[in-house]
Structure 1
């Protein structure tokens, strides 16, 4: 939006002016509100009151009162679905049901529902001229149906099987009586329909049951005669003698075959071990033998005695020879016993083989008998199926007949619905609500009038105010170094040198440079923009030409911590990047700067990206706290990595304990993290240690930010190289901080 006088100037809405405009017109606004509210009150009071009552019906299957347990119909157990509930709503609004209700309640006698009983003179004239049918010729119940439906509302309650019946009338007793009468007539119709179905079913089932009884008797006699003639005697409900014998022989044969195979395999295993000279003591068949166990025990005792005597006697001693001979004999006995066990297993396998042959012969005989019985079983199964079908049908008919007989009474067939909420005569009118109507009319008039006044102010331009543009950042005077003598140009252009930040002896690498260490060492050197010798000569000329300035007291340092704090407190930048070419000395100045800003009432957050962890050591109580590396790796939240400074009100995000290389893969997120923190803190100070321009550019993608160059003892040539590198990266304006306390604005553009 722009102002009328100056189209190029931005404007803003003056909320105070809007509220003042409404307040100036408060008299007329309140008068209109009172008038509209009073009119609404009078009109609502003159309206004829209407009363509303509601009855609720639950649709559910209901069992007959006289039905025996277990004979309930399956359809009564099913849950009625949504379509059935909607169908019942249509039944409740059917013409036949409403006609019966209107007749029972004599609604045609009420002028509210049958205005045709007192026709107007014009209606009589039209009827006499034949231009209109005489409404009195129609049945009274039919005349009231249209008005009846207008006052009636039947609806299903959402996500339930409940149906609500609402009725509106000028008479509160009639408003409650009509829904109750509709529910009564509906249940009566439902019960009568179920009773008619039951009576018809009972009459049809009587002759069918008598016929089925004869068929079942004949079918069961045929089954018994066929079973006796074919010899198919039953041993259980599902098998006969032949089938049982065949099953027993098959089970016994499988058992004998398994035992024979086990004995043969065990004997072969023992003989293979004896033949190969392997030990048979680990075989189950040999190890479980009592003789083998006793021999193993004797061998163990002899070995124990031999071990004891070998410590005191020579190998040629008779007792040692006797014990060795005894052990050899025991081992021969073990081998002999293993041979006997193998022979015993082979004999046992032969016995199992004979038993298997006998069982095979018995199985063949049983199969032959089973095949013969199978042919007879086919005919028997056919007769049994016929008898079973007739018997099941007879039992079903009998159950249905007993159930139908028990429901022939009217009270034994209740409707599949019950009233869960009976309508009662209302004491208050549902319409009109005088007080709510009056309040709504008054509030609507007040709000609408206020909106109209505000819109008028906006369109007239009186509620618009120009936005003052922020003044351009004032640049301090730049002290230019004038040369008193011309300096010869160098004979050859300056050679490019590798720009690298100074590091401490501990070789602490900045956090954002750890991943790109190799790339930093191999980066192309940037061309020197300022010749260090020329700069030194120019400075000497300035000192020699200005002797009066030398005689005066030397001014305090313009690049002090206080001066930098003054400037940062007054600028718009909330994100500040600290560069320390000399390592931890510069990081210490950055910590002093943060504490200086904190003492001036600002909320300051320091993020330690120095690599050496100097800010963490100076400000945190421990180096093991989670910090920026955990935040970049996604292992911690903001609340877990922000810690207070132990000596000031400044907050700190330490270096952290996570893997630095993994954290630097997410270094591109640093800009978003700093922007998010800048919404909470007045100043976010990121200490980058001895970083270069590429590293800072990677961390500062967006937003307004400042770069502070912390150099306690600056070297002129080194500063020139650093500023040249940052200038090539797009950072032309750096802030130099060397220490001190004089509050002056520090800028290094002149350098």
Structure 2
């Protein structure tokens, strides 16, 4: 045996036996549950029933559009937010409201709210033993308040502005009365708060109004006095007279300048027409003269008469020449009259010029007067503005004072809450609910007894059985199973590995001598490995390749018990893996060490049992030996995936197996002949190194059944 070896086999839980214990003991489980349920029902029947009543309030503004102050200017009040409603919840449960309700309903006279009045025997025992504080050490008022808080529940309905006031009591009438009284007391507190605020406002407004009245009188007096001293006369449109006169002069000056410009333009057009001898019929000022109009009419009449006479008389007729002479005189008269019109227009332009100069002088003088009046008006407006501001403030204070006084005198101070669901007298108690409590106790006790029964069966060991794991594939994160290798032709059953052609025929399987003293057979060795919990079996074959049959037979025997077994062939000739795989040339441990293959490439299934095999491989042995330090890692991975790893080492000394030995390792020495010196030498070497080897011989071994020739390699 190795230096470290476990003696404890794996155990599994037998679920059928475990849960079968519930069926065997169902009477006890059910009986205990029924007793617990009955006891719970009895205790619930003895408990004092508690009744609960609730009052629901909604937080909202009670002011209407007709009673709200300053309805013309004040906007609609915003609803109370969540923080404000939470504040109202705390206010309802305040000590002042609870104390008022307790005094109004005389709760301190009831034993329910004062435990010190009539304590129970249990309470007396707890007080005497010091496990509980004596309630009598507290004032009566505090005891009542503490009990009321225990029975009171005030909360806000989520997502609304509704507050629920719940109160529980042994007496349903008390529960209803206290719940209603708390809600009414809260409404009274709100009204009192508004009344106090209203009274404080009127008290503050009275002296302020008296003070503002005097200030308004003084400001208005200053305005009148300054107006008289500055001689600021008010004209039309509520403007200063100097400014109004300045505006009128500016308007008159503009009109005179326009008239002068028009007269000068008309005179220039008449003058040009006379100088150039053009017709005066196109000049409006000339045509507007009455004399010229009459002369034009006479001229038209003469032309008409000349035309009439020309039809009967010759041009040299005296009458015709007389009419033509008169017509020529009319033209001269018209031009003379035009000269008079020109002189009139020139005179008009000169008059307008003089008027313009006079207006300019007056305008300049009025500007100085208007500027001075403007400065005085600024000061006057400042005084008026101050007087108006004080007057407006006084009127605002007076309006508020009248509103506050009318509300106080009329006792109209609505609270910002109302009761929309009054408390009612409860009919059924909310505690204890006998049926639900009894059912819950029955189910809980049933589950508890079931768990205790299972634990008792489990810890007693009656529900445990030895582990017997079926063959399964190695874990994916360590080793993946190799693909199946098909056999070319069915192979005859073998009890021992087939020898190499050049070697002698192994011992026959019909009848062999029994093991000698100190040696154990294949079956005994397999039993020790299984019961001892060995995970690694290192097999040394001092007598050569024929002795490698021991590792093959041991691996097959352990695999027949249902454990997962792998044989790792580290012999130089592959004597152990060659007969198991019916040949050589497969990738193996040397390829894995040389990094030329992976686990999935080198692990193969034996053709004659459930063993897996890693052959010696085809890689260069020298290259593989340079990576021999990887052997401990490979062995650790294999022992993780398999229940037992059998390593055939061939003829090797104790120092050569150091990399293969780990926890729960057994060292086996295959023996064909106990008189062989190599066997003796190997055993002595192992013992000197601290190992306790098992001498295993195939003597007396018989294969239990011939292997199946149609076996799937997978």
Q: TM-score range by the shorter chain?
A: 0.3 to 0.5
- TM-score of the pair, normalised by structure 2: 0.41
Structure number with higher relative contact order (C-alpha < 8 Å, ≥ 6 residues apart): 2
**Is the radius of gyration larger for structure 1 or structure 2?**
2
- TM-score of the pair, normalised by structure 1: 0.39
